[in-house]
A and B are shown apart, each in its own frame.
Chain A
Amino acid sequence: MSERAVASERDLVALRPEQATIPPGHPWNRIPLIAAVCALLGAAACAILGAANPKQFFFSWLVSFLFFLSLALGALFFVLIQYASQGGWGIVVRRIGETIFAMLPLMAALFLPLLLGLRDLYSWTVPGAAEHDALLRWKAPYLNVPFFLIRAALYFGIWSFIAILYYRGSRGQDVTGDPGVSARLRRIAGPAIIVLAVTQTLASIDWIMSLTPKWYSTIFGVYFFAGSFVGFIALLSVVAVAMRRARLLDTVISAEHLHDIGKFLFAFTAFWAYIAFSQFLLMWYANLPEETIWYKARLEGSWMYVTLFLAAGHFVAPFFYLMGRTVKRKGATLAAGGAWLLAMHFVDLYWQVMPTLHPEGLRPSALDVAALVAIGGCFVAAASWLLRRQALVPLRDPRLAESLAFENA
């Protein structure tokens, strides 16, 4: 117990609500409006450009939808493991995660436009696709439109249920201060993680893998999870540093917390690479057509450059960049790494989805940007609107004092 830990525990153990809210007149109060305007402009651009090229619109929308969905799912996993492991350090940044996974019901609404384009996106939904294809016929009990829709409804129902349960519980504790809330949420965190793992795996199979309906990969769900968790931690690092810069929570989130966020980012960057390479290595080695078909599309033409960029930008560069201690403890350097990995997470999803539409090579489209701005605008507007209405940390969590005083050994 160092001098500093003792001092900070004494000073901050009773965090007053006004120390952890966005004060009136603060620039962050304007974010919801700005983001909503962006969302409207993006949606208008999608409508105008998409009318001329609906197929491109649906694929662009799918990439951006998956990007923000994966961030929200990563946030849910992060908070669930904090509860399950009774983690102390992360309490001060937990509300950021809670705000982001509270966007899961919104993601259900943003999923709806894709339903208009199922035939453009998923070749197996075209009537008669399975008729002359033994493999698709064999997969039809799973890959059929009614079951696909039922599953999607189930995923969003389950995710929204868990998200609302945890969000409400945490917000309620701000008022009541009841430590029983933490104990209750901890008890269900383990089962919730299992449910999340299963639904997230199946969702990634439905929405990404089935773009190439004859492709087999048993590790794909883990790959999607790895990307989603890297994406969320990257976002968390950016938001935490941005808050400190904006003089919100600047006395609450310390270099110690940034250091731990940085460790997560470093570790899961390596985990993502481990899973991504495991998938590639076994398929490359076995050389079976139903597996290599997916990589063949990504190792030919200009997609090859995207593949190499992904390997270098999503693993090699951030791995060495985030290795050192100083980089993780300084706001500017950590947020730079986080912003980079967030962008690489988008590239990763783009690389998973787009070769289905453009097997001839990388074809960037204005619709990619329009869909990103439209969905991102909605996401940021809703999340920042929530931030305005709530405390920025779980004020009366029994472990808040431990988190405030946290120091790396």
Chain B
Amino acid sequence: MPFDPSRTSGSSRAPYYGILAEFATPADLYHACERVRDAGFTRWDAHTPFPVHGLEGAMGLRRSPLPWIVLGMGLLGAALGFVLQWWVHASAYPLVISGKPYFAWPAFVPITFEVGILFAALGAVFGMFGLNRLPMHHHPLFRSKVFERVTDDAFFISIESWDPLFDQSATGKLLESLGARSVEILES
């Protein structure tokens, strides 16, 4: 079905989310992503039922800042764990345990390590949530009927309407020319 910008499900003047294009195979999607990337779009995404190797390169995604969050949280946790033990054992409530000095640093290492790991793991999970703006209770993509197959056997590109290069007619035609099986306009 050829793309017709006037055919939308709602009022054509209402603010809308963007354009969704469906591709038949991972290879089609991969090459389409390369072209969308090269066209200079920035507010867009690809959706697949399974990880497609190298897709982040085809999409021109930068590396995630998540590793730095994890490293920072890990170091912070380790430092906090160590200081906590120093404060308890050597400052706030000094007790002689097994004839060791108050500040018995080797005994602090396992807790320091564990708290470091705990904070790094929390940083990884919640950092990922934050970067992905999760939890998100609804997304305009879910309005689309064909998009339901994204967890099954269909591959999608969505381009958001607030992308500086976005033009309803031209962007839709571009996606169609890249081999999209169907192209539709998404209400917000």
Which of A's residues lie within 8 Å of B, judged by CB? 1-5, 277, 280-281, 284-285, 287, 323, 325, 407, 409
Contact = CB atoms under 8 A, between A and B. Distances in A.
B61 to A, nearest CB: 13
Interface string B55-71: 10110000100010001
Given A285-B98, A287-B98, A323-B71, A3 B106 contact: no
B30 A3 contact: yes
Q: Which of B54, B71, B107, B110 has the most CB of A within 10 A?
A: B54
14 contacts: A1-B27, A1-B54, A2-B53, A2-B54, A2-B57, A2-B58, A3-B30, A5-B53, A277-B109, A285-B98, A285-B100, A325-B67, A407-B54, A409-B53
Given A1-B52, A407-B53, 10 more contacts: A1-B27, A1-B53, A2-B53, A2-B54, A2-B55, A5-B53, A284-B106, A287-B98, A325-B67, A407-B54
B106 A409 contact: no
Nearest to A320: B71
A280 B100 CA distance: 15
Nearest to B34: A3
Given A3-B54, A4-B54, A407-B54, A281 B110 contact: yes
Nearest to B100: A285
B51 interface: yes
A323 B68 CA distance: 11
Nearest 10 CB-CB pairs, A to B? Answer: A2-B54, A284-B106, A2-B53, A281-B106, A1-B53, A407-B53, A409-B53, A277-B109, A2-B57, A285-B107
A2 B55 CA distance: 7
Contacts of B51: 409
B77 interface: no
B99 interface: yes
Contacts of B26: 1
Contacts of B57: 2
A5 B54 CA distance: 9
B37 to A, nearest CB: 13
A5 B55 CA distance: 12
Contact of B30 (A2, A277, A287): A2
Contacts of A285: 98, 100, 106-107
Contact of B99 (A2, A3, A287): A287
A247 B88 CA distance: 59
Contacts of A407: 53-54
Contact of A281 (B30, B63, B99, B109): B109
Contacts of B98: 285, 287
Contacts of B107: 281, 285
Nearest to A407: B53
Nearest to B51: A409
Nearest to A277: B109
B36 to A, nearest CB: 15
Interface in B105-156: 106-107, 109-110
Among A3, A277, A284, A287, the one with the most B-chain Cβ atoms within 10 Å of its Cβ is A3
Nearest to A280: B106
B128 to A, nearest CB: 16
A366 B84 CA distance: 48
A388 B21 CA distance: 56
B18 to A, nearest CB: 26
A3 B100 CA distance: 61
Nearest to B99: A287
B140 to A, nearest CB: 29
B76 to A, nearest CB: 15
Contacts of A409: 51, 53
